[in-house]
């Protein structure tokens, strides 16, 4: 039996730059909704959401955690399903997969710094999935907190469609409350934990400023709603209820992003934020039906968010739990499911039994008997379901859009400390790779070593630490290495021939390939241009396999090749001697030959860097970035500090944290994220090649 109607569901994520206050926002929300009875702190490792030992030690979120709570507004109770996401760029996959399944998001900003690098990244990820958002500017009590600067940075770097629904009263230490622009009232927060919200009359000195901002707000909302525009232009008063409806409509279309203010430290602003989540963010039924492909016909089909529709859900996260085994988190888009049912995984074509249904509260599990449209739940023991797989009713199959993840940019070599750890190491790495799509494991055929790759030094450090704690495996770790790639700059053709006679039946494979460069980030494409059966169909996939294998080790320095179109346009075969193996080898030979002719080059990961430095060290920091092959893109003042934005090669950034600290007497900080791959300068490429040959 459904406890809450679907229109009373809110599936939201809390997203932000690291240290803006995402987890504290979630913790305060859980406290005010009565889900928890005290507000923990990150510094003491007492927040409910950061339950991993690594999170508590580092006072940062590493893994997205799900929970749910209930909030009453105007006598009606609503269920809020929350996913609290990490802010560090190394764990960007957690944000990506969470946003894919959420209906709305709260973007948290630091009132003293406004929009930061990772704020931009999560905003772009939300844009990609068309997620309606509300903005919450935290830390308005912080030194340097500035209402105008915060808004200015949102307009400049994220969206012109953001406007405040509240005004802060006082700044920095004097921040004491909020002005509600809809009600034109002052909100004060009293009691031990700010749990008592009092509405007071707007004082004269704030009236003028509030009227100006309210007018801007009404004009913006009226521009998105014809009925409201007509009423506003004819000079009639627009009611609070009409404004709320207009705001909600504009937010759901991603045409408007309201800005709220507060201080989690002073316990100001959380209850109005909860009201805003209910008033303005969509329920599953407010959004268009989910679209997918019918695997039987290949046609586009859709599922409405109703319990009466056939069941469909997307598995968006896999987690290794030491007590229950593998947990699969899924979001239900349509239909109803009872514990013990069988579902079809349309991605693999296999059936899975749903033995247990769990509602998660961080690392705590609550057993439920059934799930409904809009639910975010977990199940245990699915054998062949991974991140991005679709689970659905076997009589009405559908394949939902997968989740795409960025490529790893940094690698390290790892080996077990003892012979006994050998098997355990392989098992631990396999489990961690299933859980995290941005973490990959492969073996180096030449040296026999295991190479693990991830999104950054911290990412791999956490992986190694988890192996030790959760899987009891010790490993010797090499120095971090950049994940270089190779590509070609020109079109070239090449022949690949593999002929072997060995007494009995021989081997014969013969192909002609054309290699063409593609734009950066477009990936690999194989084109079959064979006509008239010059090469039989069954050998063409073997050629593609050979090409892919050869691309794993490029011709410049042995790094994987990317962004290439390979066309198979001619060849020949032998009635008796031709085999899949022979054509695979021929494809591999032709690829290597063609790549040598097509002006191959090395590519390196380029990072987007933001450095915050005191003004007296500004020149020193700029000079150091120049020495690291950095390209300065812009600089600006933010309060007392200087902000430097640059693009810089990852290879030059190892140990930068220590360098920056010594250059700025420990006062400089930086954030860095992957941006794109770019050709390595010739002199540096030569050093890399020679380093490889040694």
pLDDT, tens digit, for every residue of 228-287? 888 777 777 778 888 899 999 999 999 999 999 999 989 999 999 999 999 999 999 999
Domain edges within the chain: 6-200+254-280, 290-400, 410-482, 486-598, 603-690
90 labelled ligand-binding: no
Above 60 in pLDDT, residue 218?
A: yes
Per-residue confidence at 503, pLDDT binned at 50, 70, 90? low
515-537 pLDDT, tens digit per residue, is 999 998 888 999 999 888 888 88
19-41 pLDDT, tens digit per residue, is 888 888 888 898 899 887 777 66
pTM of the model: 0.76
3-state secondary structure of 320: strand
Considering only the top CATH level, what class is 486-598?
alpha beta
Residues 528 and 565: their CA atoms lie apart, in Å, by 11
Tell me the mean pLDDT in the region 425-451.
81
480 labelled ligand-binding: no
139 labelled ligand-binding: yes
651-680 pLDDT, tens digit per residue, is 888 888 888 888 988 888 888 888 889 999
Considering only the top CATH level, what class is 410-482?
alpha beta
H-only helix segments in 226-340? 226-233, 240-252, 270-280
Residues 435 and 424: their CA atoms lie apart, in Å, by 17
Distance of CA 196 to the CA centre of its chain: 36
Above 50 in pLDDT, residue 694?
A: no
Above 80 in pLDDT, residue 565?
A: yes
Interhelix angle 421-435/457-470, nearest 10 degrees = 120
How many angstroms separate the first and last alpha carbons of the chain?
Answer: 68
Which tokens go with 272?
Answer: 């109005």
672 labelled ligand-binding: no
CATH topology of domain 290-400: Elongation Factor Tu (Ef-tu); domain 3 (2.40.30)
641 labelled ligand-binding: no
141 labelled ligand-binding: yes
Domain spanning 6-200+254-280, CATH architecture: 3-Layer(aba) Sandwich (3.40)
Residue-averaged pLDDT of the chain:
87
pLDDT above 90 covers a percentage of the chain that reads: 40
Give me the pLDDT at residue 104, please. 93
β-strand pairing of 390-392 with 312-321: antiparallel
As beta bridge partners, residue 609 has 646, 672
> Within 13 Å, how many C-alpha atoms sit on residue 421's CB side?
15
Considering only the top CATH level, what class is 603-690?
alpha beta
388 labelled ligand-binding: no
CATH fold match for the domains 410-482 and 486-598: no
Residues 62 and 54: their CA atoms lie apart, in Å, by 8
323-337 pLDDT, tens digit per residue, is 777 888 999 999 999
Cα–Cα nearest to 96, from 290, 346, 387: 387
β-strand pairing of 525-528 with 564-572: parallel
Give me the pLDDT at residue 169, please. 93
Give me the pLDDT at residue 657, please. 82
683 labelled ligand-binding: no
130 labelled ligand-binding: no
DSSP 4-65: S-GGGEEEEEEEESTTSSHHHHHHHHHHHTTS-SS---TTTT--SS--SHHHHHHTS--S-E
DSSP 452-467: EEESSHHHHHHHHHHH
Tell me the mean pLDDT in the region 391-401.
92
């Amino acid at each position: 039996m459904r406890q809450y109607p679907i229109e009373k569901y809110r599936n939201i994520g809390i997203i932000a730059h690291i240290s803006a206050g995402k987890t504290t926002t979630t913790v305060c929300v859980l406290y005010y909704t009565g889900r928890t009875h005290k507000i923990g702190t990150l510094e003491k490792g007492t927040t409910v959401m950061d339950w991993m030992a690594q999170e508590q030690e580092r006072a940062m979120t590493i893994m997205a955690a799900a929970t749910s709570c209930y909030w009453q507004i105007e006598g009606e109770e609503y269920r809020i399903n929350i996913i609290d996401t990490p802010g560090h760029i190394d764990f960007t996959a957690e944000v990506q997969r969470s946003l894919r399944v959420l209906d709305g998001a709260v973007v948290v900003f630091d009132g003293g710094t406004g929009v930061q690098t990772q704020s931009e990244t999560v905003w772009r990820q939300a844009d990609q999935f068309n997620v309606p958002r509300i903005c919450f500017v935290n830390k308005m009590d912080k030194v340097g907190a500035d209402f105008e600067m915060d808004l200015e940075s949102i307009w400049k770097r994220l969206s012109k469609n953001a406007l405040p629904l509240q005004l802060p009263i006082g700044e920095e230490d004097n921040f004491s409350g909020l002005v509600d622009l809809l009600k034109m009232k002052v909100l004060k927060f009293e009691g031990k934990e700010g749990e008592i919200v009092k509405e007071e009359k707007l004082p004269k000195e704030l009236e003028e400023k509030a009227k100006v901002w309210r007018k801007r707000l009404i004009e913006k909302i009226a521009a998105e709603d014809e009925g409201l525009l007509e009423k506003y232009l004819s000079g009639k008063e627009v009611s609070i209820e009409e404004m709320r409806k207009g705001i909600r409509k504009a937010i759901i279309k991603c045409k408007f992003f309201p800005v709220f203010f507060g201080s989690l430290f002073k316990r100001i602003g959380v209850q109005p934020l909860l009201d805003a989540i209910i008033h303005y963010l969509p329920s599953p039924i407010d959004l268009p039906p989910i679209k997918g492909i019918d695997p039987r016909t290949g046609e586009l089909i859709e599922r409405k968010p109703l319990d009466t529709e056939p069941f469909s859900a997307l598995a968006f996260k896999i987690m290794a739990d030491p007590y229950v085994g593998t947990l699969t988190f899924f979001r239900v888009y349509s239909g109803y499911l009872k514990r013990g049912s069988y579902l079809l995984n349309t991605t693999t074509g296999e059936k899975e039994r749903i033995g247990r249904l769990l509602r998660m509260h961080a690392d705590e599990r609550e057993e439920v008997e059934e799930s409904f449209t809009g639910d975010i739940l977990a199940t245990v023991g699915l054998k062949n379901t991974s991140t991005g797989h679709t689970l659905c009713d076997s009589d009405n199959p559908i394949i939902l859009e997968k989740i795409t993840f960025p490529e790893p940019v940094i690698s390290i070599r790892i080996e077990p400390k003892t012979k006994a750890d050998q098997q355990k190491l392989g098992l631990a790495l396999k489990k961690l790779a299933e859980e995290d799509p941005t973490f990959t494991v492969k073996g180096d055929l030449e040296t026999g070593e295991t190479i693990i790759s991830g999104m950054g030094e911290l990412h791999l450090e956490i992986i190694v630490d988890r192996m030790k704690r959760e899987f009891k495996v010790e490993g010797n770790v090499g120095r971090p290495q950049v994940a270089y790639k190779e590509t070609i700059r020109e079109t070239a053709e090449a022949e690949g021939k593999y002929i072997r006679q060995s007494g009995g039946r021989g081997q014969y494979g013969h192909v002609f390939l054309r290699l063409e460069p593609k734009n950066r980030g477009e990936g690999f494409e194989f084109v079959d241009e064979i006509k008239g059966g010059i090469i039989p169909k069954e050998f063409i996939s073997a050629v593609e396999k050979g090409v892919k294998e050869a691309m794993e080790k490029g011709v410049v320095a042995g790094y994987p090749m990317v962004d290439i179109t390979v066309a198979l346009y001619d060849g020949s075969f032998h009635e008796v001697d031709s085999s899949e193996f022979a054509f695979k080898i021929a494809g591999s030979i032709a690829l290597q030959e063609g790549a040598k002719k097509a002006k191959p080059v090395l590519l390196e990961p380029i990072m987007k860097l933001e450095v915050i430095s005191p003004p007296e060290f500004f020149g020193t920091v700029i000079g150091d970035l120049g020495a690291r092959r950095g390209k300065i893109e812009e600089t600006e003042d933010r309060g007392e500090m200087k902000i430097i934005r640059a693009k810089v090669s990852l290879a030059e950034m190892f140990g930068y944290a220590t360098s920056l600290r010594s250059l700025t007497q420990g006062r400089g900080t930086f954030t860095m994220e992957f941006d794109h791959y770019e050709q390595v300068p010739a002199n540096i490429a030569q050093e890399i090649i020679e380093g490889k040959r040694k």
